[in-house]
Structure 1
Amino acid sequence: MVTIYDIAEKANVSAMTVSRVINNTGKISDKTRAKVKKVMEELHYVPNHTARSLVLQQTRVLFLLITDITNPFYTTLSRGAEDAAKKSDYRLLFGNSDESLEKESDYLTTILSSRVDGVLIAPAGDPSFPHLDSLRKHNVPFVLLDREVPGIECDIVLGDSKEGARSLVDYLMSQGHRRIAMINGSSSISSARLRLQGYQEALKLNDLIYDEAYVHEASFGPQSDLAQIEQWLDSMEPMPTAIMAGNNVLAIEVIRLLRKRGLRIPEDQSIVCIDDFGPYSEMDPFMTVAAQQAYQFGYLGMQMLIERIQERNIAVPWKKIVLPAELIIRRSVLPISE
Structure 2
Amino acid sequence: MVTIYDIAAQAGVSAMTVSRVINNTGKISDKTRAKVRRVMEELNYVPNHMARSLVLQQSKLLFLLITDITNPFYTTLARGAEDAAKKHGYRLLFGNSDESVDKEKDYVDAILATRADGVLVAPAGDLSLPHLESLRMHNVPFVLLDREVPGVGSDVVLGDSKEGSRKLVDHLTSRGHRRIALINGSPTISSARLRHEGYREALKLNDLAYDERYVHEMAFQLRNDLSEIESWLDGMTPPPTAIVAGNNVLAVEVIRTLHGRGLRVPDDVSVVGFDDLGPYSEIDPFLTVIAQQAYQFGYLGMQMLVERIQERGGESPQPWRKIVLPADLIVRRSVADAK
- State the TM-score, normalizing by the size of structure 1: 0.90
2:322 matches 1:320: yes
- Name the SS of the counterpart of 2:233 in structure 1: helix
Partner of 2:37: 33
Partner of 1:329: 331
Partner of 2:221: 221
Partner of 2:49: 49
Change in Cα spacing, 1:32 to 1:107, as seen in structure 2 (3 Å) is: closer
How many Å separate the matches in 2 of 1:271 and 1:242?
6
- Name the SS of the counterpart of 2:290 in structure 1: strand
Matches within 5 A, 1:62-81: 62-81=62-81
2:63 matches 1:59: no
Matches within 5 A, 1:245-324: 245-312=245-312, 313=314, 314-324=316-326
How many Å separate the matches in 2 of 1:284 and 1:227?
28
Greater displacement, 51-60 / 238-247: 51-60
**Deviations 1:235-258 (Å, cap 9, x if unpaired)?**
211111110000000001111111
Report how far residue 298 of structure 1 moved: 0.6
Partner of 2:241: 241
Report how far residue 315 of structure 1 moved: 2.2
The runs of at least 4 aligned residues of structure 1 exceeding 6 Å deviation read 14-18
Change in Cα spacing, 1:294 to 1:243, as seen in structure 2 (3 Å) is: same
Report how far residue 222 of structure 1 moved: 2.5
Report how far residue 31 of structure 1 moved: 6.8
Q: Does structure 2 conserve the Cα–Cα contact (< 8 Å) formed by 1:79 and 1:295?
A: yes
Report how far residue 36 of structure 1 moved: 3.3
Report how far residue 234 of structure 1 moved: 1.7
Q: Does structure 2 conserve the Cα–Cα contact (< 8 Å) formed by 1:187 and 1:193?
A: yes
How many Å separate the matches in 2 of 1:162 and 1:292?
13
How many Å separate the matches in 2 of 1:332 and 1:22?
53
Q: Does structure 1 conserve the Cα–Cα contact (< 8 Å) formed by 2:78 and 2:295?
A: yes
- Name the SS of the counterpart of 2:156 in structure 1: strand
How many Å separate the matches in 1 of 2:273 and 2:62?
32
**Deviations 1:215-238 (Å, cap 9, x if unpaired)?**
111111225862211111122111
How many Å separate the matches in 2 of 1:252 and 1:228?
14
Q: Does structure 1 conserve the Cα–Cα contact (< 8 Å) formed by 2:243 and 2:271?
A: yes
How many Å separate the matches in 2 of 1:235 and 1:179?
14
Matches within 5 A, 1:176-255: 176-223=176-223, 226-255=226-255
How many Å separate the matches in 2 of 1:209 and 1:65?
39
How many Å separate the matches in 2 of 1:286 and 1:147?
27
**Deviations 1:243-285 (Å, cap 9, x if unpaired)?**
0000000001111111111111111111000111121221111
Give unmatched runs, 5+ long, in structure 2. none
Q: Does structure 2 conserve the Cα–Cα contact (< 8 Å) formed by 1:218 and 1:225?
A: no
Q: Does structure 1 conserve the Cα–Cα contact (< 8 Å) formed by 2:81 and 2:298?
A: yes
| CA root-mean-square deviation | 2.5
Q: What is the total number of aligned residue pairs between the two structures?
A: 329
Which amino acid counterpart does residue 215 of structure 2 have in structure 1? V
Partner of 1:135: 135
How many Å separate the matches in 1 of 2:50 and 2:198?
49
Q: Does structure 1 conserve the Cα–Cα contact (< 8 Å) formed by 2:222 and 2:249?
A: yes
- Name the SS of the counterpart of 1:4 in structure 2: coil
Which amino acid counterpart does residue 226 of structure 1 have in structure 2? L
Which amino acid counterpart does residue 315 of structure 1 have in structure 2? P
Which amino acid counterpart does residue 197 of structure 2 have in structure 1? Q
